[in-house]
A and B are shown apart, each in its own frame.
Chain A
């Protein structure tokens, strides 16, 4: 594994400029004060009920994601670069999805193998030839980024379906402002609180042509048992839109309505946090009780906008991920600003052979997995685990990709023994409207709280931090 890049203390041991004030502050603040604030933050989180559920755990229905009070800081220039890269990537993703469900030029050109698209369970034949308002498929993207040195950022994963986590970005900032006003006064931190405003503008901008001049937007949630329910209610509240469940909606004459205390009201834009499979029992899984029967027909008739569109999974699948640099080049004619992590596709014979040879040094991931489940981290696995994985890999190589074990950057973090470096990633949120692309300066920084751990997922014991983008 390469040397670890710490974002506060550079390779030569000096403090990197964006962290100058923070480093001074950390050395001044008494440990017991910091610890006190940390517990205060925990109490606040518990009281407002920012929780998530971990699937597969029966006893603890709701859990708090640990919050770390030491912020992660990016300089304005670093952020500017990341932003340009994000915008480029999301533009390419939208062009690619439109192409896959349209003229299929990228397949004809042989850039991406056809079976990867057509045999992919996230490919939605219902979307073939389907017009979507303003040709935008992905309105809200969460792009996971890791950093390995002062100038290199990699995209680890694209989330083009229903990315979550933005409520943490907003709540983390609120709590930091409450607990550490003096620390803010020593920095010029770009605000993130306008995110809901930007999101609403984005959603309204993509309303169907048949909508009124002030379109009705709703947020569709699977309900209170969904792990991200807190976020759904939080966002609906900040957006000032109704938080609906499938049973609140019905479709008549290919138009979507919600049941209100004053009778049916037409719905124009659905910011849906329900997966494709469960969206409409008439079009997809017939056993789904979460969706609204007929929504797909209204969508196909062009009377409602779904954000994100149906079938966007074809862009964030891990097998497709490895083709992203080629996708950027194909549609935009530009070199990608943000690189991919080098990736071996186990579907290709020579790649598979390479991976099987080096299982103990690679990270192998399931193509359709998420949340850090079903992956092998070679250097951390024992012999038996590696051999078990080898069998799985050989029997269905198409389901896997492999990447080098990357040294994610570290950021100072409040842990039991004091302040110590812990590995982090970053999920910024990109909003694509008819008028423009909007990116709020910041995002969700996830931190692996266990020493040396590289898994930042909340379901695996990761925590979150506030992310500061300095204005100057």
Chain B
């Protein structure tokens, strides 16, 4: 397979996943922002949404204040933000167009259809109801694309590279949301677990669609360290770092097997997975969650570079 084709497949999956993640963050933000002050605390939800999306820098060069209007525009429809939902779908389609021959008709149909429908939303929603519909639509577009890829693609290198992109992006997203939320909610070792916090913690779970899963796994009220446990260490949770790395290792192994050669990408992915497998939550909290996540994000980025060097260029 052409290196460029693999690169396009990898980024196609990443952009679709990113669009879905942004839509989830915004849905949760919208929900929190409508809570009475007494339940929502003092934090600016919109500012935190921008931080979770990882684009505080780019945002502040264009806007002076983070509020519903500016953040919605920036994260959803802005053409100046390279990672806005609109640009994610634009870039996803550009990548798809460049590798049409490697996609199934169903996948192309999903991504091209999404791109065509995107125009319907113009430059932004005219009401909150429409905005919520838009966010739902984005998530469905991503699910549709992912489902079609899963159901129709040959299980060969094209499929594995697109999975690598998906899990890379997902691991990055989960790590960011944990980092920002815990940073905001646990500035020091304050007492936690008051009724006010419940909605904030539940919101994290909601943004990775894990609220129900949490109750099934822990059969407990919502507690920060259990949330961290679920999203970092639980293999059975599809958006957890452990699960993402299980999948990254597996797909890299498929590629190595097909090509008859292991490389730095395989070794690095395995090392990260092993680190996740050998940790316990108490240790991570003692060491400092922020430091742990920070270290994870950089090693995740290093894996991205290793994959790029080994296969995509």
Chain A interface (Cβ within 8 Å of chain B)? 46-49, 223-224, 229, 233-234, 236-237, 242-245, 247-248, 258-262
Q: Is B133 an interface residue (CB 8 A)?
A: no
B259: A residues at CB distance < 8 A: 261-262
Report Cα–Cα, A258/B5, bound state, in Å. Answer: 12
- Inter-chain contact B101/A259, CB cutoff 8 Å: no
Contact of A237 with B101 in the complex, beta carbons under 8 Å: yes
Contact partner, B97, options A46, A229, A237, A258, Cβ 8 Å = A229
Q: Does B2 contact A (CB under 8 A)?
A: yes
* 0 or 1 for each of B74-116: is its CB under 8 Å from A? (1 = yes): 0000000000000000000010011011000100110011001
**Residue numbers in B under 8 Å from A233 (CB-CB):** 97, 100-101
Q: Is the CB of A244 within 8 A of B101?
A: no
- The residues of B that contact A245 with a CB separation of less than 8 Å are 4
Q: Chain A residues near B149: list those with CB within 8 A.
A: none
B6 contact set on A, CB distance < 8 A: 261
B1-24 CB mask vs A (1 if < 8 Å, else 0) is 111111000000000000000000
Is B313 part of the contact surface with A, judged by Cβ < 8 Å?
Answer: yes
Main secondary structure of the interface of A (DSSP, over half): mixed
Cβ distance B154 to chain A, nearest Cβ, rounded Å: 13
- Beta-carbon contact of B94 and A224 below 8 Å: yes
A258 and B101 contact, Cβ closer than 8 Å, known pairs A46-B116, A47-B109, A224-B94: no
- Tell me, in angstroms, the Cα distance from A236 to B99 when the chains sit together: 10
Q: Is B311 an interface residue (CB 8 A)?
A: yes
Whether B157 sits at the interface, judged by CB under 8 Å, is: yes
A389 to B105: give the CA distance in the assembly, Å.
Answer: 48
Point out which of B2, B98, B113, B313 has the most chain A C-beta atoms below 10 A from its C-beta. Answer: B2
Closest 9 pairs (CB-CB, A-B): A233-B100, A237-B101, A261-B311, A259-B3, A261-B6, A261-B1, A236-B101, A224-B97, A262-B259
Once the chains are docked, how many angstroms separate the CA of A223 from the CA of B313? 17
Task: Tell me the B106-135 residues at the A interface (CB within 8 Å).
Answer: 108-109, 112-113, 116
* Of the residues A224, A259, A261, A262, contact of B98 by C-beta under 8 Å: A224
User: A261 to B3, Cβ gap below 8 A?
Assistant: yes
Tell whether, in the assembled complex, residue A248 and residue B3 are in contact, meaning their CB atoms are under 8 Å apart: yes
Given A49-B108, A229-B97, are A242 and B2 neighbors across the interface (CB < 8 Å)?
yes
Docked-complex contact A47 and B113, CB < 8 angstroms: yes
Residues of chain B lying within 8 A (CB to CB) of residue A248: 2-4
Contact mask B293-313 → A, CB, 8 Å, 1/0? 000000000000000000111
Closest CB of chain A to B103's CB: distance in Å? 9
Contact A259 B4 (CB under 8 A): yes
Q: Report the count of interface residues on B (CB-CB < 8 A).
A: 24
Residue among B5, B97, B112, B312 having the largest count of chain A Cβ atoms under 10 Å: B97
Min C-beta distance of A48 to chain B, whole Å = 8
Q: Closest Cβ of chain B: how far from A39's Cβ, in Å?
A: 16
**Which residues of A have CB within 8 Å of B105?**
48
Please, which residue of chain A has its CB at the minimum distance from the CB of B157? A261
Distance (whole angstroms) from the CB of B141 to the closest CB of chain A: 15
A-B contact list, 9 entries, CB within 8 Å: A49-B97, A223-B98, A236-B101, A242-B5, A245-B4, A259-B2, A260-B2, A260-B3, A261-B312
A238: nearest residue on chain B (CB-CB)?
Answer: B101
State A46–B117 Cα separation when bound (angstroms). 12
Which B residues are in CB contact (< 8 Å) with A262?
A: 1, 259
Q: How far is the CA of A242 from the CA of B3 in the complex (A)?
A: 11
CA–CA, A258 to B313, complex, Å? 11
Q: How far is the CA of A47 from the CA of B108 in the complex (A)?
A: 9
Q: How far is the CB of A128 from chain B (nearest CB, A)?
A: 34
Contact of B112 among A47, A242, A243, A258 (CB under 8 A): A47
| Docked CA distance A210–B135 (Å) | 57
Give bound CA distance, A244 to B101, whole Å.
11
CB-contact partner of A243 in B101, B161, B311, under 8 A: B101
Q: Once bound together, how far apart are the Cα atoms of A307 and B259, in whole Å? A: 31
A273 → chain B closest CB, angstroms: 14
Task: Give Cα distance in the complex from A302 to B188, angstroms.
Answer: 72
Q: Once the chains are docked, how many angstroms separate the CA of A63 from the CA of B54? A: 36
Q: Which of B108, B157, B255, B313 contacts A259 (CB 8 A)?
A: B313
What is the minimal beta-carbon distance from B9 to any residue of chain A, in angstroms?
A: 10
In the complex, how many angstroms separate the beta carbon of A289 from the nearest chain B beta carbon? 14
Cβ of B101 and Cβ of A49 under 8 Å apart?
no
Taking the closest CB of chain B, its distance from the CB of A316, in whole angstroms, is: 29
Distance (Å) between the CB of B250 and the closest chain A CB?
A: 17
Question: Given contacts A223-B98, A261-B259, could you give 18 more A-B pairs where the C-beta distance is less than 8 Å?
Answer: A47-B109, A47-B113, A48-B108, A224-B97, A224-B98, A229-B97, A233-B97, A242-B1, A242-B5, A243-B2, A244-B2, A247-B4, A259-B313, A260-B1, A261-B2, A261-B157, A261-B161, A262-B1
Per-position 1/0 for B170-204, Cβ under 8 A of A: 00000000000000000000000000000000000
- Given the complex, which residues of A lie within 8 Å of B3, measured CB to CB? 248, 259-261
A158 to B212, CA, bound (A): 67
Instruction: Please name the residue on chain A nearest to B93 by beta carbon.
Output: A49
A46 to B4, CA, bound (A): 26
Greatest chain B CB density within 10 A among A48, A224, A234, A245 is at A224
Determine the distance from Cα of A224 to Cα of B112 in the docked complex, in whole angstroms.
Answer: 14
User: Shortest distance in angstroms between A330's beta carbon and chain B's nearest beta carbon?
Assistant: 42
Q: Are A237 and B100 in contact, CB atoms less than 8 angstroms apart?
A: yes
A260 to B312, CA, bound (A): 8
Chain A: CB-nearest residue to B94: A224
Q: How far is the CB of B97 from chain A (nearest CB, A)?
A: 5
Chain A residues with CB under 8 Å of B116's CB are 46
- Chain B residue at smallest Cβ distance from A243: B101
The answer to whether B2 and A258 touch across the interface, beta carbons within 8 angstroms, is yes
> In the docked arrangement, what's the CA distance between A47 and B113, Å?
7
A243 to B100, CA, bound (A): 9
CA distance A229 to B96 in the complex (A): 13
> What's the least CB distance linking B298 to chain A, in Å?
25
**Closest B residue by C-beta to A218:** B2
Q: CB-CB < 8 A to B311: which residues of A?
A: 261
Complex CA gap A247/B4 in Å reads 9
